[in-house]
Structure 1
Amino acid sequence: MTASQIRLKRELSQDPVTALALHRAPSGKLFVFAGQDSDLFVYEAKNGRYKGRFVSRVGVFVDQPIHGISVRHGQVLAWGFCHVAIISVESLIREDDGSDSVNHSQAAPAIARAIAPDWIYHGAFSEADPSVAVLATAHNEAIPLKYSHHTGEIVLGAVIAPSRPMLYSAHLSWISNDTVLVAGGTVFGHVVVWKCHLLEGGKWATETLFNFEGHEGSIFGMDICTITLSDESTVQMVASCSDDRTIRIWDITERENKAYSQAPQLNQVINTGFGGNDIECGDSVSDSNKESTPIAAVMGHASRIWGVKFGPGCGENALSVYSFGEDATTQRWRLDISRDDSAGESSPSSSRLVTGKMSHSKTFSLHNGKHLWSRAMLAEDKAVLIATGGTDSQICLIEEPILSDKPSNGVGGSLVLDASDILKGLTCSKEIISRYDFLSHDHILVTTSHGKLLLGYLKESDAEPKWEQINVPEELQGEVKLCYVVKAIDPTAALLGTTSGNVYHFSLSSKSLTHVASMQGKITDMTCLSNRNRDGSSPPLAEVLVFLHGRADSHYFSIDISTGGIRSQAQTKGLDPRFVPTAAGKIDDLLVIGSRHGWLSILDHKDDETYSPILDIATRSRDTITAILPLPPKSGSQHTSRYILVTSRDGKYRIYEIDRQPERVLLHLRHETSPPFGPMIAGAWFTQDTVPELVLYGFRSKDFVIWNETRREELATIECGGAHRTFQLTYSKSISGRYRFAFTKTSKLSISSSDQLRHEWVKSGIHGREIRTLSSNGRYIATGAEDTSIRIWEYQPAGDGAQADLRCVAAMKTHVTGLQKLAWLGDDYLFSSAGNEEFFVWRVQNLESDYKGLSVVCEGVFADKSADADLRIMDFDVCKSSNAHGIIVTMGFSNSVLRTYRYTSDGGRFELLAKGTYTGACLTQTRHLSIRNQLPLLLTASTDGHLALWRTEPDEGTQHKYVLEQIVPLHQNSIKSLDMMKSGEGEGDGYHVFTGGDDNSVGVTLLGQISRDTDTASWTFLKRSIVRKAHAAAIAGVLLVRRGPELLGVSVSNDQRVKLWSIPSSEDGNIKLLRGECIGVADAGDIAAIGGPESDTATVVFAGIGLEAWRLE
């Protein structure tokens, strides 16, 4: 294949979702239409799968993102900037067998396009005529649209506007067959409302209704709604949201008949400036409307609010309102509306006749990073569906049941109760709930402060539970009163531990208490290690470890689940007296116990019925260890897993490998990271899927959070007041989103329940912030973003009709400043640099477990920093040492200093080998060329546009210094990106160096070796060539790819273009442009390649605000 035959084909798009629409097909299927860059994607949602099913994709515009979508009458109206298009829904939706295969032979749908004279903010089809629509533009204009189904053409009418203020948002609503209501939000905080009438002969007329002021910032979102109150009166409202973080509801009900003009009124003026005057001429607005205030106003979100939508009614004179913010959250509000009778007839047209109050109901944190750019809503009989799309390229679908008159604080179909409801008729008024635990999803066992034992039946999430008081013998009521721990060991049994040191067994079948054991001390907690039936012929057993107050030693019991009889028991001995046990796990005959101060102890079973410590280690945390559980073993293995997962109150979870050696047992840290929901992790479990997934739960501020770490998705959020309270959780390992959570707050018990996940991810996403750096080792891609997080992805290429995808296998957030560079060294090491002279070494390994998460641990931290530690490590290069001892790391700092270190994994040590200083220009790129005398010869690039070659000379002691050997100019200013590749396969061959600059140019430089002797090797520049104006903006990333004899260069720029270049293989020839394509990635940061040089195709990945993969074929 020659270079001219190579094509660029987009294989994966993870761009920001800028437009959304929902459509319920006649077949009952739910489809999500999404705009990503210039393409329209269609997914099928609510199909019983965890993710939405990809249906189709079509390019709507050229080099123009889609900003809005409206679906009506079997047609899709899409717009972006001043472009508008109409597509048939039928041509986009394939009513096939529901498989994931993509029919590439299907004919492209017909698209009708037109160009409006101004930026389009909203569009809406007429309810009566599917060939008529109206567009709202940035200057408060309405543009009639006529679509011919026969010719497939769009005809735009004359612009209609009563006035022309600059808008940041607009919303259209057809209120009759010939009338459109237009609401616009201006740059300076005004809300402008007017009507557009269709007259005979195709003419239009306008009528100005209202001009409200009150926002202290620009208005970014609008919505219009009509509600019928209990007195049968109708109120029409418009909602507005702004960068002042407020949502305001305005009454736009017309109460006076006005004669409207017969021609567009273009002479009306609105004074600019926040708090400016109203419309001054034309259809003048009454003085009462000038003084209008909103029905209701509320402040929400942590930053700007991009959108607002009215939801369905939620009781008498109430409806829900949803807001969508820069903080990447969706918030639900309850709007209660009432009449202000005191106003009476004195001012019948005043908005004060209607008053309202907004209260916060719920927050959905389903996206990463920042910005919910798009949203869509579909109200149905029993639920309202809300779709959201953000910068993270993720599409979430929330299913909210139609709310009753009583607001709910729960999740989805949850039920919230307090103790006064539970204890009604059963106990005295002064009695309170003491301890409790769930036996199963349907039963909860509760003790009270007066020694009563209650069994709750929780069959239905939305119904009142039934309570039964268990008959406790009089002699045991005092013991139940002293109960400090209730621990379920099976769906049919639980153990009660008392402060007097007694353990009792409760059987669900007999509903009776049985004494199990007594011990010296106050029982503070019990941990169920397992409840599996090891031998089918014997009764099922539960292994339990009992913790005592003020004692390091604990008691182990193997208990018959059905009778409570003890089958075996042991005691832990030999632990440090300061050891306070808080969590435990068991692997084979080893017991692993964690302490309040972060210590782990491994104990082995001895012949004298004791467990004695064989290893004590201090973890990287001094916070309480909250849970210890084994990882799932590898399928087909006859042995249990040798890995344990440990969660902690420091917000991190860790995976350790138990290394059993003949004479000792070692514990190796294999993985350490902190999920984003912290700062406290209370526990975890693995799902029972074919490929187990890790689910964590814990507390974030006042919320209890359930988090799927494998998918990086938040499953549930329950407001409970925070971590310092009694709580219990029961969950399903097979049904995602099925749980019950009980907690005590102000001596009251609340139970939140969910039988299923009330939201789903139609499309998975990536970082929610700009990706600044990429690195690939062939199998995995590492990305570093402005949110300081690093993620490792496994790329799943398109094949067998399936779409390409990225699967997150690890996420780390240790840096505190923006990432500058990532680099792999083989498959085992990943290096990262950032500001504040942060440089980390990550050890990456695969676990021998069915759990497919990648284990990553920070093995080394660079500590040789300057006095102020305020420099940025601009670039670095790594290679293995020539004597196989350690790793050579060369860093280029923002103060023009070069340093080379030898890194050794033993202790994570950095040993300084050489250093040097460039001119006043900042070093931007650093590369190793070869090793001479165990030190690298370097190539650097800098902000002055020069390339430089360096060699080392002996300096004081054992250290060396870098000396400039040759320097050449290439670019007019900063060299932002660089890649190099061997010119041939020989050891002494030179390099092709491909560079991209801030001057919009790409350059190729040939390097050759003067001497191939390892002791005297040196390099020189042979030839330089450059293409000026290669892009229209700075070039953020370049890449060299070899395909057969052809050497190709790929460049990506901030002009949102990717270009393919033919690179001359010798000193003769020039750079030649082969291809250029538009991309959806804005503010591109870096580029990387997947696939080896021997394959026929290579996949190029580039990222910035979004991520795309293009295949060279």
Structure 2
Amino acid sequence: MKIKANVKFRELAPKLQHSYLLNPITALAFYHGIPSRDILLAGEDAWLKVFDVDSNRLLSQLRIFHSQSIHGIHIPSSEYVTKETSHILIWGGHSVAVLSVQSLQDLIEERAPAPPQELRAPDWIYDGIIYSSSGMTIGALITAHNEIVPVLAGPDGQTFSFGELTSPSRPILYSANLCLVSPDKVLVAAGTVFGEIIVWKYYLDNDINTRWEVLFVFTGHEGSIFGVSISPELELSPGVKVRLLASCSDDRTIRIWDVTDHPDTASNTDTASHPQALGVARETGFGGNSEAKVENSNDSLRCLAVEMGHVSRIWHARFTGRRNHHLPEPSPVEIYSFGEDSTRQRWELSLDVSRLSNSSQRRPVAGEGRKLSPELDRIGTLRNCGTSTCHIGKNIWSTALSTRGDSWLIASGGADGRIMVSGGRHGITTSASGDDATKHTEAQSSGYYDIDNNLVFQDFIKSVQTSSSGSVEAAPADAEEDKDTFHRYTFLSDDMVLATSARGRIFIGTILQSVGWKEVLVPRAVQTDLTSFHVVKSPLPGIAIIGSASGKIYLYSSSFGVKELAQFSSKVTDLILVGKDGQKPSRGGLFETNTVMVTILGQNHATMLSFDPATGTLTSNGLKTVVFDHNYSHYVLTSAALCGDKLLLGSRVGALTLYETAGDKFTVIDSRKDSNSKDAITSILPLPGSSTSFLTTSRDGKYRIYTISSSETLLSLVLQHEISPPMGIIEGASFTASSPRRDSSSSSSSSPDLILYGFRGQNFVAWNETARQELVSIECGGAHRPFSYVSRVTDPGQLRFVFTKVAHMRFYSQSRPALRVLKEGAHGREIRAVAVSNGTGYIATAAEDTTIRIWKYRDDDDNDDGGGGGSDPLLLRRRIECLAVLEKHSAGIQCLRWHGAEYLLSSAGNEELYIWRIARLDSAYQALAVVCEAVYPDRSVDGDLRIMNLDVRDADEGAMLISLVLSNSTLRTYRYSKDEGFQLLATGRYTGACLTQIRHLGAGDNNGGKIHVLTAATDGYLGIWSAASAQQPGGGEFSLAAVTKIHQSAVKSLDLVVHRGSEILVVTGGDDNAIGFVELVWMDERREFVVRSKSRVKSAHAAAVTGLSVLGTGEEEDDDHGTVEVATASNDQRVKVWRAKWSDGGGGVKVALVANRYSSVADAGDVEDIAPARVMVGGVGMEVWEVVGK
């Protein structure tokens, strides 16, 4: 038997070095030490990363902890900072570090400072503060048991230690927040596991006898307290100042509490109240008992407002930091909440200031017998003001809010590793991200100001008359002018829009910082002709073409007004702009063409109309007839384009037709319909830099890319790409002029971005498919309405949208997206499979979020972008770029396998197995083309099994041999080809244990004419199976040739390497924390595989070995010996490399541990050798390790 080895023999070194990581963002904080510049600090695993918010650039990074992710960053406010003693506090788990501001300045200036000293606290840390007082640096930490740990600076001001713990009680906390209210006093809010909130004061002065004082114990939440946030002192009106506490819980409610500490109340002096306050509500469980409720009714009166939000647990509630809420005019308190559902919600808290002021003068202390219903005594209301989806998958783990003057910035970090930033002015919902003039210079110079107008027609007419100042006389209005309404819109350019009314009036809006309207003078006959019905499109800048119910075509130009261009026999039902290949984009979202398809009511053809924009007349031979494809009855044209000399038409039922053009003659040469529904093809757009490839959008929510394939005698349409972005109805698409650098982790590229726009539910949505970023989402009432959209071709986040809703015209313009990506992310759930294509180097990852992502890893060591790098500059120059996102699975994905460079196979729950065809587009748009070519056909009646694992190899005549195992202990092998589909070759059934892994050992004549596969199961056994020849379809049976036990429980991971053609070393990782090695040998005389030896490394990890990959084999010491190295990953967050040696004479495998490193990836799901000396680990995030020399 001759089997080609799938891994080359090479010498591997035992040292591992981090090459790349993409993990959840677990801490965020804004730094304002540099005037007019916003710097964001982010904690990603153990690394502190420094971003410039304005330029979207990663400046540098520094490793803070050895093996602990960063959970929090505290930067002292300017009032508690001195130049000599300014520091930043960083913590995570038990680990604490204090970083000097000078070190941070070095990072901002892209220099590498020394890493700070790592301290170990006595307990888990939830929050911390640090500040300067009397020339000394002082800090405090709050632990998971409600204890304050002082942070003390040494005599040199650079070394730190911990002081004595202080606590009024030691409940188990899920959240805590510290607020420095004076240089010697800290306000503590602690949220417990059982739904209580304890508010107490800690005194930093060592000279006083009492170090703590309990103020309140709040109850009311019916779940664990996941987030508490203390506001700064808020001035609601002159002389009325309050301090509030926001809390969020497992019960999905947000509650606002009054924690104002009034010096004249008895609670500050009556120390006897402390034990009583802590004694109430001590019963474990949620809701408390009746006695506790009565005792705490006084503190519950401080609950000012309650409201429910989010669809799952709420992790954070944050105040914006704004202090003044009555100047220049009274305004509500803004609060933001962040949840498990990956959304951010904005809330406005309105308070009855007079009641709050009166009630604050005398608050009962804990235990006083005031008994009022808290629900009836609320003096505030919370109003939900909107929801923004910030991240993919689940969980926003970190947030940061910054206030400068009347402007704010919000940053959020998710489990997907993405950082999102947004901002605006207090009390105003805008899309701007800050108040610095430099941030808006580019947007404003291009005319893209933030505008949001909403007008009824009658008010609109008044503005037209006012703006014209009597210099423009509109056509005479009749007595029913008040019944006129808005009818159609089209953008003539970035800064000019045309609107028409139902009575045929035409208006031009000039867009500057606002929209100024004037009416176009048209003859009375033209206005009458346009009354009740007309269609309007803008084919070129400053040009509009108008079709009427009488069959007339008019051309509007700012240079000559309105001219009649053509006359048709009946009603013009639509005007279709004909895009052409080779065009350079100049107006985002708009075609530029002098060719229009005119459709006439009741006719089986359309007319291709070409005109001269300079003269406003038809070109020579300007009218050509195109007969519709007779294979479709009632053909309604909805889109058209020219690719070279080929014409493409899209219809209302989703049919796409290809015509060959020869002079005035158009001949149908191919037609196809790929949508399963009868949804229209809304646009056809040639790909930039290609005359044979084009993109279509459809109302079925998908966009598709086709190529015109040619042979010697035949032209045909080939589907190359079909994807459903997160939109409902796609109305159109455009390409940017080039791809702007989106963040510091993206490789620079001249490839344009693909922009899609359409409707999702009641909202209009613009979506950057390349960056996977939502540009805008506006509530408009849905798709069935007149609208027009335009965006800036070099920056699609600058856009304009005009539409009609309930007889109102709304004009919306934005200078930048409300949410923008500062750092790109990945999957929003745990990665369960990683696979690499040996031919292209493409890396596929699949996760519990049911998506597949295809990546390209780039090691740009020779292309430094000038960034520093903290302690490891190379980490800034390594990129992993997402090329495609596949969203077809409906359950968690179990396995990925590449077959060559062209095919990717994926399996999941619900018996889903998809075969994806992958190709690179031959155009300037450098995206991967992906289409699902086949779907697994043999689903059971219930369809509820999981396809646990699969393997694929070449079969005869270009087909694939696919073997898979299902969760009901069965295995199946199929032959698959594109033309013939799936053909079942063999089936088998194991015992009651679930099969978890399958690999091909061999098939065909070299293996006795049989199919041989290896399986692993949850009982810890490996099984060797054989079945009839792969050339004989018909559903043969697998027979179990041999079994061997290698683990005490489930086999979680498996890989193998072929040595000298007839020997196979199988490496397994188990749920028993062990690694197994099994030698298989092909016996020619018996025509089967036999087990020669097996070895096992007990306690290889401290938890289950969930991923492993054979990295390669070392040079053979002689003909009788082999060496292999294996990388393993586990739930213990360690990555290890093992060297295994074996000999032909038996005796088992000798194994040595050669590398053992902390892994940033929790819940590791897979390990893959993605490139020479590169290993990827996927789980909660992903990381790449480099295997370097000894």
Matched, 1:719 2:779: yes
Between the aligned partners of 1:28 and 1:466, the Cα distance in structure 2 is: 34
Q: Which residue of 2 aligns with 1:1105?
A: 1180
Q: Which residue of 1 aligns with 2:732?
A: 683
Which deviations, in whole Å up to 9, do the C-alpha atoms of 1:172-195 show, x marking residues without a partner? 111112221112222233332222
1:583 to 634, 639, 661: 639
2:95 to 75, 83, 96: 83
Task: Return the offset for 1:55.
Answer: 0.8
Between the aligned partners of 1:216 and 1:706, the Cα distance in structure 2 is: 40
1:375 to 389, 394, 399: 399
| Alignment check: 8 A CA contact 1:594 1:625 kept | yes
Match of 1:320, as an amino acid?
E
Task: Return the offset for 1:167.
Answer: 2.2
CA RMSD of superposed structures (Å): 3.0
Between the aligned partners of 1:345 and 1:657, the Cα distance in structure 2 is: 73
Q: Which residue of 2 aligns with 1:33?
A: 41
Which deviations, in whole Å up to 9, do the C-alpha atoms of 1:745-790 show, x marking residues without a partner? 1111112211234443222111001111111114111111112111
**Bigger shift: residues 513-522 or 194-203:** 194-203
Task: Return the offset for 1:340.
Answer: 4.6
Matched, 1:961 2:997: no
| Alignment check: 8 A CA contact 1:592 1:601 kept | yes
Match of 1:620, as an amino acid?
S
2:488 to 424, 431, 435: 435
Between the aligned partners of 2:905 and 2:595, the Cα distance in structure 1 is: 43
Between the aligned partners of 1:935 and 1:581, the Cα distance in structure 2 is: 55
Matched, 1:385 2:409: yes
Between the aligned partners of 1:182 and 1:285, the Cα distance in structure 2 is: 24
Q: Which residue of 1 aligns with 2:386?
A: 362
1:70 to 66, 74, 89: 74
Task: Return the offset for 1:983.
Answer: 1.9
Between the aligned partners of 1:264 and 1:125, the Cα distance in structure 2 is: 30
Which deviations, in whole Å up to 9, do the C-alpha atoms of 1:173-222 show, x marking residues without a partner? 11112221112222233332222233452765323222332222222112
Task: Return the offset for 1:277.
Answer: 6.8
Between the aligned partners of 2:997 and 2:1134, the Cα distance in structure 1 is: 23
Between the aligned partners of 2:827 and 2:249, the Cα distance in structure 1 is: 25
| Alignment check: 8 A CA contact 2:60 2:107 kept | no
| Alignment check: 8 A CA contact 1:219 1:243 kept | yes
Matched, 1:159 2:165: yes
Q: Which residue of 1 aligns with 2:461?
A: 423
| Alignment check: 8 A CA contact 2:141 2:151 kept | yes
Q: Which residue of 2 aligns with 1:773?
A: 833
Q: Which residue of 2 aligns with 1:971?
A: 1047
| Alignment check: 8 A CA contact 2:423 2:433 kept | no
Match of 1:1090, as an amino acid?
I
1:993 to 1066, 1077, 1080: 1066
Match of 1:921, as an amino acid?
A
Aligned length: 1069
Which deviations, in whole Å up to 9, do the C-alpha atoms of 1:662-686 show, x marking residues without a partner? 54320001011111x2222221111
Match of 1:120, as an amino acid?
I
Aligned with 2:146: secondary structure?
coil
C-alpha spacing 1:423/1:1017, structure 2 compared with 1 (3 Å): farther
Match of 1:211, as an amino acid?
V
Q: Which residue of 2 aligns with 1:401?
A: 425
Between the aligned partners of 1:78 and 1:516, the Cα distance in structure 2 is: 71
Task: Return the offset for 1:936.
Answer: 2.1
Sequence identity percentage: 37
Between the aligned partners of 1:201 and 1:157, the Cα distance in structure 2 is: 15
Q: Which residue of 2 aligns with 1:845?
A: 919
Matched, 1:809 2:916: no
Q: Which residue of 1 aligns with 2:512?
A: 459
Between the aligned partners of 1:783 and 1:1018, the Cα distance in structure 2 is: 35
2:118 to 113, 118, 129: 113
Aligned with 1:737: secondary structure?
strand
Between the aligned partners of 2:762 and 2:653, the Cα distance in structure 1 is: 24
C-alpha spacing 1:381/1:1059, structure 2 compared with 1 (3 Å): same
Q: Which residue of 2 aligns with 1:750?
A: 810
1:1055 to 1132, 1157, 1162: 1132
Between the aligned partners of 2:228 and 2:733, the Cα distance in structure 1 is: 42
Residue pairs, 1:1005-1016, within 5 angstroms:
1005-1011=1078-1084
| Alignment check: 8 A CA contact 2:1004 2:1029 kept | no
Between the aligned partners of 1:620 and 1:345, the Cα distance in structure 2 is: 65
Between the aligned partners of 2:1033 and 2:89, the Cα distance in structure 1 is: 74
Q: Which residue of 1 aligns with 2:1000?
A: 928
Task: Return the offset for 1:1031.
Answer: 0.8
| Alignment check: 8 A CA contact 1:339 1:354 kept | no
Aligned with 2:796: secondary structure?
coil
Residue pairs, 1:153-192, within 5 angstroms:
153-192=159-198
Matched, 1:560 2:618: no
Q: Which residue of 1 aligns with 2:219?
A: 213
Which deviations, in whole Å up to 9, do the C-alpha atoms of 1:1072-1111 show, x marking residues without a partner? 111111111111111111224xxxxx11111111111111
1:654 to 698, 704, 708: 704
Task: Return the offset for 1:534.
Answer: 9.3
| Alignment check: 8 A CA contact 2:970 2:989 kept | yes
Task: Return the offset for 1:805.
Answer: 2.0
Match of 2:461, as an amino acid?
L
Q: Which residue of 2 aligns with 1:321?
A: 335
Between the aligned partners of 1:250 and 1:810, the Cα distance in structure 2 is: 47
Task: Return the offset for 1:949.
Answer: 1.6
Q: Which residue of 2 aligns with 1:519?
A: 568
C-alpha spacing 1:200/1:285, structure 2 compared with 1 (3 Å): farther
Task: Return the offset for 1:278.
Answer: 11
Between the aligned partners of 1:1112 and 1:448, the Cα distance in structure 2 is: 69
Which deviations, in whole Å up to 9, do the C-alpha atoms of 1:465-489 show, x marking residues without a partner? 2211222222222123234322112
Aligned with 1:477: secondary structure?
helix
Residue pairs, 1:786-805, within 5 angstroms:
786-800=848-862, 801=874, 802-805=876-879
Task: Return the offset for 1:429.
Answer: 4.1
Aligned with 2:117: secondary structure?
strand
Task: Return the offset for 1:975.
Answer: 0.9
Match of 2:887, as an amino acid?
K
1:254 to 261, 273, 278: 261
| Alignment check: 8 A CA contact 2:1082 2:1089 kept | yes
**Bigger shift: residues 419-428 or 924-933:** 419-428
Task: Return the offset for 1:840.
Answer: 1.2
Task: Return the offset for 1:2.
Answer: 10
| Alignment check: 8 A CA contact 2:916 2:930 kept | yes
Question: What 5-or-longer segments of structure 2 have no aligned partner?
Answer: 1-8, 365-373, 435-448, 466-476, 585-591, 739-749, 863-873, 1116-1122
| Alignment check: 8 A CA contact 2:985 2:1033 kept | no
Between the aligned partners of 1:29 and 1:359, the Cα distance in structure 2 is: 33
Which deviations, in whole Å up to 9, do the C-alpha atoms of 1:288-347 show, x marking residues without a partner? 733415322222222111111112368523232111111111222223333255995798
C-alpha spacing 1:354/1:953, structure 2 compared with 1 (3 Å): closer
Q: TM-score, normalised by structure 2?
A: 0.85
Question: What 5-or-longer segments of structure 1 have no aligned partner?
Answer: 635-639, 1093-1097
Residue pairs, 1:859-870, within 5 angstroms:
859-870=933-944
Task: Return the offset for 1:78.
Answer: 1.1
Task: Return the offset for 1:264.
Answer: 12
Between the aligned partners of 1:374 and 1:534, the Cα distance in structure 2 is: 44
Between the aligned partners of 2:1054 and 2:593, the Cα distance in structure 1 is: 63
Match of 1:417, as an amino acid?
N
Task: Return the offset for 1:791.
Answer: 1.2
**Bigger shift: residues 761-770 or 424-433:** 424-433
Between the aligned partners of 1:1111 and 1:930, the Cα distance in structure 2 is: 32
Residue pairs, 1:432-831, within 5 angstroms:
432-460=485-513, 463=514, 465-510=515-560, 512-530=561-579, 542-567=594-619, 568-576=622-630, 577-607=633-663, 609-634=664-689, 640-675=690-725, 677-689=726-738, 690-778=750-838, 779-800=841-862, 801=874, 802-831=876-905
Between the aligned partners of 2:170 and 2:1038, the Cα distance in structure 1 is: 65
1:980 to 1050, 1056, 1064: 1056
C-alpha spacing 1:957/1:321, structure 2 compared with 1 (3 Å): closer
Between the aligned partners of 2:247 and 2:885, the Cα distance in structure 1 is: 37
Match of 1:632, as an amino acid?
L
2:251 to 218, 225, 244: 244
2:1111 to 1041, 1062, 1083: 1041
Task: Return the offset for 1:452.
Answer: 2.1
Q: Which residue of 2 aligns with 1:637?
A: none
Q: Which residue of 1 aligns with 2:1075?
A: 1002
Aligned with 2:894: secondary structure?
strand
**Bigger shift: residues 260-269 or 846-855:** 260-269
